[in-house]
A and B are shown apart, each in its own frame.
Chain A
């Protein structure tokens, strides 16, 4: 399922207008390859978010909407929301995506990860009716990170793929727990109870899964 979603970026022409416009100028194959990479980059969700932030670009936003809104809706449906409620809330999430696009930092998260955090918090707000305390990255009292972060968007797309692959290759017993935790927002104790497993087993499986994912994320720095 994950591998399938991964492919879905490539064949889908998100912005045909821009793509054909670029192809017109292409002459030699080497340049074609370069432009191809550029186009892929322009169509990446991270680039689309930057376009929304920089120029309030509605076409880029619509491309993001087509990709993320149906997935956010599906995610919310898993929480038990009916279709109309999930639709409304997915719209709310996309509204926040537009409003907060300026705060998106491709060096820190992929677009999917960033949208996930917004959707997760919207879910907590709406269904649990509690606030979600979050770090304020603009706070003067924040202790800044002294280590530099990798910041090119291409490398980021690559990392996102590696995470997808790492998740897709998890043993079922780990994948189930990752899903219950990150998608159904169950505590480790609740997961242990539901699966009739010792708490320590739940924690160690999740740690193993997380270890694999971190290896995939930081392969280039090893």
Chain B
């Protein structure tokens, strides 16, 4: 049972097509796991549908309907090649991850491996369009503690396996933590199981410890 959802504000921006690729990836992945949020997005898209229906029509070129009918009459090219849905030997490329994330992970793993950035902490930076946000998968060992940090700008974290908790709540598969720069927290992974989470950040994390801040550029968090 998902307890932590995406805010309606973000669902509205997703439905409107106003989010960057990395944030959209996280939200679409949450939607695959969360029927109530899918219902919100469906309702929001109805606003776009009503706007489209109310648009004053602009004449299409004379040839256009026949162009499309000729095109549909041709046999389809190769059956639509899905973005690599099988990602080699890495177990995270398997069916445990919902689409669209699974495709992104498989595609990324065909180009680069996971990177170890600290003991018990690995990351995979996913191949989304370059921009102000980055999507990355974090793999955390059971019981792993992340040093105290806050966030510059918005951070979204979606748990895909295992659980972690911070000072405020516990997060399990499908849950989204939406954090902004007012939150400083110290997440701890449940000791019984490793944790896999997708994080989308607008800016690098801000660690409280000077040592962490110094090594931050080296480890790439």
Decide whether A and B are members of one complex: yes
B-chain residues with CB within 8 Å of residue A128 when the two chains form the complex: 129
- Total number of residue pairs linking A and B with CB closer than 8 Å: 224
Q: Tell me if B194 is interfacial: C-beta within 8 Å of chain A.
A: no
Chain A interface, >50% SS class: helix
B-chain residues with CB within 8 Å of residue A66 when the two chains form the complex: 65
Question: CA–CA, A121 to B20, complex, Å?
Answer: 12
Given contacts A71-B55, A75-B52, A160-B50, contact A217 B43 (CB under 8 A): yes
Closest A residue to B30 using CB positions: A135
A-chain residues with CB within 8 Å of residue B13 when the two chains form the complex: 181, 187-188
B-chain residues with CB within 8 Å of residue A61 when the two chains form the complex: 68-69, 72
B-chain residues with CB within 8 Å of residue A70 when the two chains form the complex: 57-60
**Contact at A206–B12, with CB atoms within 8 Å?**
yes
Binary flags per residue of A101-137, CB closer than 8 Å to B gives 1, else 0: 0000000111111111101110110001111111110
Given contacts A87-B64, A109-B42, A210-B12, contact A120 B50 (CB under 8 A): no
Q: List 24 A-B contacts (CB under 8 A).
A: A6-B54, A65-B60, A65-B65, A70-B59, A71-B53, A77-B58, A87-B60, A87-B64, A91-B64, A91-B67, A99-B76, A123-B17, A128-B129, A131-B129, A135-B100, A139-B32, A143-B33, A143-B35, A145-B35, A163-B46, A167-B51, A185-B17, A186-B18, A210-B44
Q: Which residues of A contact B (CB under 8 A)?
A: 1-2, 4-6, 56, 58, 61-62, 65-66, 68-75, 77, 83, 86-87, 90-91, 94-95, 98-99, 108-117, 119-121, 123-124, 128-136, 139-147, 159-160, 163-164, 167-168, 178-179, 181-183, 185-188, 190, 203, 206-207, 209-210, 213-214, 217
